[in-house]
A and B are shown apart, each in its own frame.
Chain A
Amino acid sequence: MASRKKVLLKVIILGDSGVGKTSLMNQYVNKRFSNQYKATIGADFLTRELVVDDRVVTMQLWDTAGQERFQSLGVAFYRGADCCVLVYDVNSSKSFEALDGWRDEFLVQASPHDPENFPFVVLGNKIDMEESKRMVSQKRAMTWCQAKGNIPYFETSAKEAINVEQAFQTIAKNALAQEAETELYNDYPDPIRIDSENSQNYGCNC
């Protein structure tokens, strides 16, 4: 057990525009909330190292644009994903109702080898807002998650860092299990990115 190889977990964050995907990702990785985020154009990612099941893993979180029009580009980003995080805003029914579409779209584009068992995690974000604004009840969200194969569900606030750490720990754990499955089924190329042994030598020739 001395030298286990490093694992890169690829996680895709999806959901309607403005539900807080970028904020959640930044809260988890950079431990801060900013009200200066802009609508994400194209795609970006952040990485964080963490310990899951006694292993150090690197989680790569992919943040994409929320407007469905841009999803046809998604395939390049979805490939090789180990977990998909579906985010909605508890204060917007529309964003919740869109989860079905996001899930289906992901399964079509990423085409995981075992779609039935591909790990999803659902986050209901912005619970810091006043209760009177809430439009999606816990019960409703839970029912949906249960119907889709008992998807783990978290209610979060990226702004106030509620449940964010916990949610991503679960995400990492499920992603790690998926990564293991993937390796079992496909002989995927080595997932190492930061391993010094495997990186090429880029010495300059001068």
Chain B
Amino acid sequence: MTTSDEVNTARHSTSSDSSSLINISSISSRQQANSPSSTNTSFEHVPDHAQKGDSGGGVNKGKKAKLLYCKSHVSIHPTSFNKDNISGYLGIVEVEHAVPHSLAPHLDSTAQNGGGRKTETLVTWVPDELLDRMDVEDREGYRRVEGRSNQSEHDGEEEDGFVFVSLPPPKGEKYAFSIPITSIYSILVYPPSLSHWYGSATFNLMGGISLPTLYFHDDESPLLATPHAPNTQQPLPRAQWGFPPFLSLLESRATVVRSRLLQSRKNMGAELWLVNPSKSDREVHEAGLEEEPEAIPPQRKPVLVNQPSEPPKTVPYPPKQSYPNTAVLNNVTPKQTLMTSLSNLTNLSRKAASQVLSHPLAQPVVPHLPPAVRSLVHVPGEWERTGRLPPKTGKASDVANEFESARLYLARWARVVAEEGEKARRDEIASQARLRRSSGSGSLSPMEDLESSLGVFSMLPKSYSKRPIPNPTRTPQHPITSRDWESFAAQGRDELYVRREIFKRGFTDSTESEEKKARREGWEVLLGIIPWSIGGLGGGELGKEKRKNQREEARKAKRQVYQGLKSKWKVEVNLSGGRDDWREEWHRIDVDCRRTDRNQSIYAVPSDAAKNGNHEKEGGGAATSLRRGSIADDGQGDEEEGGVAALNPHIAALRTILMTYHTYSPDLGYVQGMSDLLSPIYVVFDANEADSFWGLVGVMKMMESNFLRDQSGMKRKLSTLQQLISVMDPELYAHLERTDSLNLFFCFRWILISFKREFKFEQVIKLWEVLWTNHYSNQFILFVALAVLQSHRDVLIRYLTEFDEVLKYANDLSGTIDLDTTLAQAEVLFLSFKTLVEDLDKETQVEQKGKEGLRHRKTLSDTSGVTSKKEGDDSEENKKKERKVISEDLRELLNGWKE
């Protein structure tokens, strides 16, 4: 199947193909007894070029039909593009002809011929293009009839005599048709609606095929638009739409019954009209069925199913098959296609999953996997080697069809397997350590044992340095308690020490108020709200008291400043409703605050509001206050919203803080993500609005560049991370380059809001206090990101080949990352990076000395980041000596907190 074939199919999806055309004449013949040959085909889709030789304007002259009704601006839409629409005239004509002579009256309408005369009514559609080539007389005829029928639907016909027009030739211009109404089985009609600009009608023929859907461009028809609506820009649905007049004329020539099987509400207003229905059809369609409408997909144009033409039957056609739309679902073929594609997916998964699971690391894990997954593992040979029999339970498809892409699916499994393997190994080591300790021989703490076996090391590329890989120093199992915290000050420790301690241990999670204070005070220091040395260090009990008092005073002062900042904008809002940009910002803030950490109990929407069926959570209240043009703010309950939105007071507080920040830092303003940063601070600061505001100010001092209007800060950070990957893991870098992922957009969320969405709320708090120490680096977060990437590098490299797959995989890591392992790994990566830079610098120095007297070499530009410099030519020997050059951006990573 070539591309152009496909395009063609798509472009003409609504047109019929030639095989179905024969059907029309055969239906027609069934209705009319003696059938002539297939040259009577009255409808055909003929490519443009085939028409070129058609002389005489492509119209059968002299063979006229009585035009009973016609309507212009009825179009066929071969594609979804307006430019492809074909506008034309829909008409109802009547011809008289001798029964034995011909069945296609437009071909042979010799009314004077002997024999029984019979009038036949036909429905025609002629494209404008064809009409333009007709006689002036014909064109005038069409226009006259349309104008007439517009003024009066019923009596116009007889007023000034009949209008005779020519009909399309046997080989109709593209899409043109004229079909006897006796061959119409049904008409599927969609009145104009909000979703469908133009009403449409599709003629379904007795043979089960459908003619191209006709769209009524009523708004473009001058005749219709003028008398009814002076404002032609506003087509009024139904009031002036073109189908009902057509229908009423049709009803005068045939029995037309509306099917009750289609419930218009469920089917976008679809109406199904049966033309001359059989008795059995009538029964079925007039009774109506409940389940039937569900089977009809909400699809606009009927889809032509390429099923073989059924031979003419004398029995009425089964009603079901005449729904053009149901054919899509009722026909087995598409279903089968779906199933086939699913099974293909499963086959692929099976193949690759077995490759993952046959990895030596995975082997011990296999028996622990759920049966459904185990069944993926079976590969002859692999099992023989391990001497185990494959379990036979489960269906791979159960697992496989839950996932979008096979590779992504595999990557996830590979991850799970690796994690399970890692966990098993750690458990093993921990139990050995316990054994050693109980036997009295173990002098190491279990944690040290555990960490030295974290697998961190096996994941690091070995080539950073000739020196041994550094050890992580964190001991999160010994968090800082309030006693520890107090002792730091009592012992006169400096801030550098305190920050290092926080980095290594973090604060205790105890919920006792005394213990919670330690973290709170710690954060006040880290966020620059209250200096570490406030009230002096040391000094025994007196010193402790002094520190406490001064700390409280400092808080009070800060709170006062906050109240000032807050009342400034509030007063303005009360006086004048506030500035326009404030109202816009208020709306943004409101919408975001309402959906920030809703799963945390503190921010949960009051349950009574939820019970009342109140769904204001999504920002409805905001809409209200916006409409009123006011900024509705108070900490307790939001009266402005008429008591409708029972707003959680804590969410209201977040809103107020962010609005105050917006006025405090107008250049930056509120940016999405800030509410995420604020929320944990607010919790740690015990829901104190003013303190949390200053906490936000402190965080934003560190992270402001992330939120700049031009995104330059984020771009720079991602670029630095990219360079870091290039230095630390060239293989991963190369893979990201291959997968078009070097922009690292899949890390965007990680960096922008410091992994807020990747860890659970409590873990985020632990991560952030580590990051904010700036202990090793002011941008330690980049090493955390690198650590996450590194622990998934094998999966990334092996399975993910596209940018979107990488992004999806990264997004889906949310909630699966182990914090302490990652931080340990990040620390090791930082230390390795530091060592690498030192070594490189040493080498450079040696080199510089060696090259003394030579011209000073220029350092590489920042923008190029890291490049590999080759000494000499491309010989193998020299390639090994490829040297990494550290850019300024990378060098900055070595800067940490300074007094």
Contacts and interface: CB of A to CB of B under 8 A. Distances in A.
Interface stretch (B105-113, B347-355, B545-553): B347-355
Given A17-B672, A180-B11, A56 B297 contact: no
B196 A204 contact: no
B415 interface: no
Given A38-B596, A67-B672, A146-B233, A173 B334 contact: no
A73 interface: yes
B408 to A, nearest CB: 10
Nearest to B621: A133
A70 B358 contact: no
Interface in A76-104: 76-77, 89, 91-94
Interface string A133-165: 101001101110110011011110001000101
Contacts of A119: 80-81
A204 B749 contact: no
The 4 closest A-B pairs by CB, nearest first: A18-B591, A180-B10, A166-B298, A42-B748
A61 B799 CA distance: 22
B300 A173 contact: yes
Interface stretch (B399-407, B496-504, B654-662): B399-407
26 contacts: A17-B591, A35-B598, A36-B599, A38-B595, A38-B597, A43-B807, A46-B404, A49-B338, A54-B305, A56-B341, A69-B711, A92-B622, A126-B620, A138-B194, A153-B197, A155-B194, A166-B195, A169-B299, A181-B81, A184-B7, A193-B802, A196-B345, A196-B347, A202-B407, A204-B798, A206-B359
Contacts of B298: 165-166, 169
> Which of B11, B587, B623 counts the most chain A CB atoms within 10 A?
B623
Q: B interface, by DSSP: helix, strand, loop or mixed? A: helix
Contacts of B619: 18, 89
Contact of A143 (B233, B356, B405): B233
A137 to B, nearest CB: 11
A173 to B, nearest CB: 7
A93 B584 CA distance: 11
Contacts of A76: 743, 745, 803
Given A51-B328, A173-B299, A196-B344, A128 B615 contact: yes
Contacts of A42: 745-746, 748-749, 752, 811
Interface string B341-378: 10011011000100110111000000000000000000
A153 B193 CA distance: 9
B595 A5 contact: no
Interface string A164-196: 011101100110111111011000000001111
B405 A194 contact: yes
Given A67-B588, A177-B81, A206-B360, A54 B303 contact: yes
B626 interface: yes
Contacts of A142: 194, 234
A179 B619 CA distance: 36
B81 A94 contact: no
A12 to B, nearest CB: 12
B894 to A, nearest CB: 28
Interface of B: 1, 3-4, 6-7, 9-11, 13, 79-83, 194-197, 233-234, 268, 297-300, 303, 305-306, 328, 333-334, 337-338, 341, 344-345, 347-348, 352, 355-356, 358-360, 404-407, 584, 587-588, 591-592, 595-599, 605, 615, 617-620, 622-624, 626-627, 671-673, 675-676, 707, 709-711, 714, 743, 745-746, 748-749, 752-753, 757, 798-799, 801-804, 807-808, 811
Given A4-B1, A76-B743, A117 B81 contact: yes
A108 interface: no
B341 A6 contact: yes
Contacts of A1: 1, 306
A146 B456 CA distance: 59
Contacts of A93: 627
Contacts of B360: 206
Given A56-B334, A135-B623, A204-B358, A177 B80 contact: yes
A66 interface: yes
Interface residues of A, number: 89
B619 to A, nearest CB: 5
A152 B200 CA distance: 14
Contacts of B605: 35
A27 interface: no
Nearest to B361: A206
Interface in A1-47: 1, 3-6, 17-18, 20, 23, 35-39, 41-47
Contacts of B709: 69
B807 A150 contact: no
A58 B404 CA distance: 9
Contacts of A39: 591-592, 595-596, 672-673, 675-676
B395 to A, nearest CB: 19
A167 B195 contact: yes
A183 B99 CA distance: 51
Contacts of A23: 618
B549 to A, nearest CB: 41
A148 to B, nearest CB: 11
Contact of B808 (A45, A179, A181, A202): A45
Given A39-B592, A181-B81, A204-B798, A18 B618 contact: yes
Contacts of B711: 69-70, 72-73
A54 B11 CA distance: 13
A199 B407 contact: yes
A17 B623 contact: no
